[in-house]
Structure 1
Amino acid sequence: MALSKDTLEWIAELSGVKVEDITAKISSEEEESIEKPQGEFYSEEELNNRDSNKYDEAKKAFEEMKVKELRKKLELDFEGKTFDNLFKHHEEKLKNKYQKDSSERVKELEADLAKVNQANEETVTNLTSELQSLKQQNKINGIKADLLGIMPAETSIPKEDVLTLFLSKHQVKENENGQTFIESNGQPLKDPKTQSYLDYKNVFEDFSENYKLKTPGRGEGNQNGNQKPGNEDQFIDNWEKQQNKPISSPEGVRALMEYEKQNAS
């Protein structure tokens, strides 16, 4: 029985003898020989294992060499000879650097934001306070204009002084419903029967009546035909009651001089 073609081919490959020569030697009736090849023979599996091992060894040597070069070049301090060791160390180094910086930056931004919010709150508070002050001042100016409008045409002291005296003893306020009322000594002035707030204009009219300049009646002139001045004693009495000060005080003297000036003949 003849050998198959595949068998002849691998024998030829191993021995280095041509297929034709091997066939001829097998067919020959004489004794033939084939020279034994020099070296070791490996199966395909053995060859694959050998090549794989050589590749792994070369790869490991190359990896260790490159890691050593990079560690020296980048001045890295870590244990290990593999790329995994290198990458892990580099990752941890970057993480520590940027996480730390990021955390500190976040804290700085939060602190800056808190300062901005506080400044905004203070600004809003100040503006609100200023707005309330402006509204209150505008209301007071309106009230003063109203009171000056209903003040007697002629007063025993300057009209501004009458107004100042009134506002020093009375406070015009506004409740939560926007209703205007007047206080004296911290107590709202109300009608004793209805308990309704008194109109501040009516209260002022009664108050300013004490400073209304009274002209002498008919036939009250002096021997020269001139009119007598108003009742000075009544003025002094009213002034001292309103101010709780003697007429001899600097304010009283000034008020009395103004009174006498207005009533001079």
Structure 2
Amino acid sequence: MSRQFAMPRARRRALSVMLLSLTVCLSGLVVPAVTAVAAPAAVPDETPDAASALLAARAANKSVRVLSQTDESTEVRANPNGSMTMTVHRQPVRVKQSGKWAPVDLTLVRRPDGTVGPKVAPIDVVLSNGGTGSPIVKVGKAGTEVGLGWPEALPEPRLAGPTATYPEVLPGVDLKVTAEVDGFSQVLVVKTPEAARNPKLKRISFGSYTRNTKVKTLDGASAWDGTRTWVEIPPDRMTNRHTGGR
């Protein structure tokens, strides 16, 4: 059995007044606007001088590169504890592009002009994309160029990392050219015993290519710009170097 109780009229009136008051209070409540808190300024990974680098390193608790003391093979970094660290490499490890340092990347790519070259290199290394009329490979610096030629038309190369492989430059023989930090290297890969018996392999002379420079031969070959030597080619690169196939 359920029972229902009627609320007295006076109590119902009092409850209505309380609900009305609560509604008025809520409608007049002012909620303050939420203000976005600005994120702290990012500390750069490099600064122009040692003093600013030390300040940035302490503020961010990380090492910061000192641009005024950094070049292609040397880097100076400020540390959070106030010390400085200098790292020196035997060869260039970075190249300045568009005002910023980029790590050396010798991965070969095909360029819009139809040639092949590394993504980021301290000197300009250009490889042939096949055909005739251009050197197998050339290196350039400050408007001068030197390189090697091939007496016949070259096939289109296969690219893998820093190496371009020109297949079958002779029957059973591939030519591999590899971009290096200071230039290039090349090797003939003899793939079969039959190919090794080719009389042309007894001595292969690569043709020379120069632009705005002279080449003089000592033990090897040196590219001379009129004031100083900027690249040297060992003797085996001027003749032939090959590996035998199985």
TM-score by length of 1: 0.22
Q: Which structure would you say has the larger Rg?
A: 1
Higher helix share: 1
TM-score by length of 2: 0.23
